[in-house]
Structure 1
Amino acid sequence: MNALILARWQFGITTVYHFLFVPLTIGLAFLTAGLQTAWVRTGNEHYLRSTKFFGKLFLINFALGVATGIVQEFQFGMAWSEYSRFVGDVFGAPLAIEGLLAFFLESTFLGLWIFGWDRLPKRLHLACIWLVGIGTMLSAYFILAANAWMQHPVGFVLDPATRSARLTSIWAVLTNSTAVVAFAHTIAGAFLAAGALLITVSAWHLRRGRNTDTLRPTLRLGLWTVLAACLATAVTGDIDGKIMTAQQPMKMAAAEAQYHTSQPASFSLFTIGSLDGDSEVWSVRVPGVLSFLATGSFHGKVEGIDDVQAAEVAKYGPGTYIPVVPVTYWSFRLMIGFGMLAGAVAAAGLWFTRRGRTPGPERRWFWRSALWSLALAPLAASFGWIFTEMGRQPWSVFGVLATRDSVSPTVGAATVATSLIVLTALYGVLAVVEVGLMLRAAKHGPEQPGSEGAAAEGEPQLGFAY
């Protein structure tokens, strides 16, 4: 393997790992704020206990997310210096806004929320966690605006003197149509992840008859959140697909492994074959669905890989502009499949817990699916990012900068391999820490009135004890 391939592996591993924390942090911030709002409005102590319980899980995830995010910044300078030099003027603005405004907003008010229990007035303390949630959402938007520029570069000109991109309109970058729809899709996925966590943790305790009064409402909240988020991801994903087809027709063609232009175009649920256009053995297809995903019409025209390749050769010059088709094909389906499965679990859970009911021992499959639902949202999000980034290849900035021209020219394969091994090992350690802390906090459950972990009435609380 050369330095380019190793650098791509490093970027993929660190990015997917970091993104496991991001949606959960965003979604949990708002669900925790919602639970605290319910406590402030009703005075029901069950909401207070659930707020502190899931707030503790939120804090663990937030801390690990920050730690893994720092690595992202360093690897751009280490392995992708040519890319950093090229996009620096454009990326500087949204990332600076994210760091100076959004991150400081969420971190400042998170500190006030942690140490403000019984020190701040209830409503002021409640406002802190809502501002944390708003800060996480703003952070996501500015980072997605930077990523969207890689998918659909706007608001810049190429500087012939420096051979780099020079920002001409920050407004165009921040209002990029790709950024707007990606943000909506990401936020929906964030609530999907957070809702799944509520389902899993609540179901684990309820299956054992623990903390019923506190965690049954959070189970229902998680189920409704996942179902609504699943519908939202489907709608926003559909819009995203149409914008993607207009901006990157190769990506949609590769998502279906469609080599020849079709009108209408069918969507294959499952295919056996090499996905090279000539050796399809067996496929289950739904007529017209790919046309609808790409154009909004079941009779729309969808360009094939061969035609898009010819058009891009004419536009950009000789070369191969086809991504790794098996990766794009299967990641697209796994993204959709895991998301739909999470929605199905939520719908079943709402039915079995309707009107105050709790599934009995005979519904073992439900309890097991509730526990395993925690993995569905991260898997859907991870495959979604893999599809988004791999489908853009061979471009790091679509149509402007090739990935092969983005890697650091003075960094050899041995150096990248060393950093890849070190970072992967470091992330492995962080994974053990994350899982251990989350499991310990989740199994402990909410603090009960009069327990050792709960402060007496009127006694100052420093937030959360581990």
Structure 2
Amino acid sequence: MNALDLARLEFGITTSLHFLFVALTLGLAPLIALLQTLWVVRGNPLHERLTKFWGQIYVVNYGLGIISGLLLEFQFALNWSGLTHFAGELFGAPMAMETLYAFFVESTFLGLWIFGWGRLPKVAHLLTFYVVTLAAIGSAYLIVVANGFLQNPVGFERAGDALRVVDLGAVFTNPAALLAVGHILPAALMVGGFFMAGVSAWHFRRGTGEVPFFRLSLRLGLTVGYVATFFTIGFGDASVLWVVRNQPTKLGSGAEALRVAERMAAEHGPGDYLAPAWVPIALTVMLSVAYLYVLFALVPIVLLGQGRIERRRFLLGVGVWTIPLPFLTVILGWTVREIGRQPWVIYDVLPTSRAVSDVSTAGVLASLVIFTTLYVTLVVAGYLLIARIARRGPESLVLGGVLGDAEPVRGR
């Protein structure tokens, strides 16, 4: 493998592992906001405990996402200086805005939420997490705007050896970005919902005494995950249809794809401008997994309504063991999106070979080993910590409690 191959591999590993944290953050935030809203409106201590329990997991996952995001920025700066020089005004600006947004808005209000239990009025405290949730969605939108420009470059003109913005509105309303946002947000809710349901199923298999607590978590997770799956499929289909009409080479088949590939070869030089043959297969696999979830989740939803799900150990076991499936599905979707664009880093504008930094193969290999080691360590340690919190359940809450007090904080 040469430096370009290694740089692409490093980018694929780091972004995929980082997206594990992003998906769960985006998926859990609206659910926690809903639970806290129910507590503020109804005053039920059960909703408060639910908010704190899932909030603890959210805080840990968010912190891990921040660390992995910083590492991602470093590896990007090391390996892809050609892209930042050529399209920094269009690609780099949304990325920089997202970084400032995440650190100065999302992190600030999350800190207020963490330390505001019992100190801020209930409504004001709830509003801080509303800001956190909206900031998470806004951060995702800015990242997708940057990636959308790579997928479908709009609103620019060439200025020497770089690109310049001429229509900022076109950049931020890029159909490749808007369709991706519509696809990613429900996909994240699918991840968060089925994660919540899977953790609850594990506790039921262990004979938990917190039956009302995990029954409500199971109902909420299954319902949100089930509904979000339909929206994920719908926006995914819309995205594929848009690609078929506008950028057929990303699917790598069909007469129109061949015609466009021939035009690219004439304009940019000989090369393979069609996506790998496995890309349509991967799309089929993703769709199959989504429909599998639609069929799987319907049965426990019906049984939950009848109050019988707690005794169905097989279904509970399936719910536990399928927790990783939504994560794998969203990672596969992101991989398909990136691989389908090759050999372009900016579709039909900048080849990937011209975007890589002028770094030796040995240098890229060293950074690949270092960053992969850091990311694997972070993911393993992080999810072991999240699993420990999930296993301990709500009987040992830390969020919102007095320092050193492990008992649940009720009615505060």
TM-score by length of 2: 0.94
Please name the residue that 1:396 is paired with. 345
List gaps (5 residues or longer) in structure 1: 262-302, 460-466
Please name the residue that 1:183 is paired with. 181
Question: How much does 1:439 deviate?
Answer: 1.2
Question: How much does 1:320 deviate?
Answer: 1.8
Cα distance in 1 for partners of 2:222, 2:97 equals 35
Question: How much does 1:87 deviate?
Answer: 1.4
User: Given the alignment of the two structures, is residue 137 of structure 1 paired with residue 137 of structure 2, yes or no?
Assistant: yes
Please name the residue that 2:289 is paired with. 338
Q: Which moved more, 1:337-346 or 1:238-247?
A: 337-346
Cα distance in 2 for partners of 1:228, 1:64 equals 28
TM-score by length of 1: 0.83
Residue 199 of structure 1: which of 197, 202, 205 is its match?
197
Question: How much does 1:447 deviate?
Answer: 2.7
Please name the residue that 2:407 is paired with. 454
After superposition, the Cα gap between the structure-2 partners of 1:380 and 1:444, relative to the gap in structure 1 and judged at 3 Å, is same
Q: Give the CA RMSD over aligned residues.
A: 2.0
Q: Tell which has more relative contact order, 1 or 2 (C-alpha 8 A, sep 6+).
A: 2
Structure with greater helix percent: 2
Q: Which amino acid aligns with 1:184?
A: G
User: Given the alignment of the two structures, is residue 380 of structure 1 paired with residue 332 of structure 2, yes or no?
Assistant: no
Please name the residue that 2:375 is paired with. 427
Cα distance in 1 for partners of 2:410, 2:234 equals 47
SS at match of 1:20: helix
Question: How much does 1:315 deviate?
Answer: 4.3
SS at match of 1:64: helix
Question: How much does 1:345 deviate?
Answer: 2.4
Cα distance in 1 for partners of 2:319, 2:152 equals 38
Please name the residue that 1:57 is paired with. 57
Cα distance in 2 for partners of 1:151, 1:322 equals 14
SS at match of 1:408: coil
Cα distance in 1 for partners of 2:142, 2:17 equals 20
Matching of residues 144-223 of structure 1 within 5 Å: 144-160=144-160, 163-210=161-208, 211-223=210-222
Residues 332-356 of structure 1 deviation map (CA, whole Å, 9 limit, x = unaligned): 2232222222232221220221233
Q: Which moved more, 1:328-337 or 1:109-118?
A: 328-337
Cα distance in 1 for partners of 2:136, 2:367 equals 29
Matching of residues 275-290 of structure 1 within 5 Å: none
Please name the residue that 2:314 is paired with. 365
Residue 349 of structure 1: which of 300, 314, 329 is its match?
300
Identity %: 41
Question: How much does 1:239 deviate?
Answer: 1.3
Question: How much does 1:452 deviate?
Answer: 5.5
User: Given the alignment of the two structures, is residue 226 of structure 1 paired with residue 175 of structure 2, yes or no?
Assistant: no
Matching of residues 121-132 of structure 1 within 5 Å: 121-132=121-132
Cα distance in 2 for partners of 1:171, 1:95 equals 16
Question: How much does 1:455 deviate?
Answer: 5.7
Cα distance in 1 for partners of 2:13, 2:406 equals 38
Point out the structure with max Rg over C-alpha: 1
Do the aligned partners of 2:300 and 2:309 also contact (CA within 8 Å) in 1? Answer: no
Q: Which amino acid aligns with 1:348?
A: V
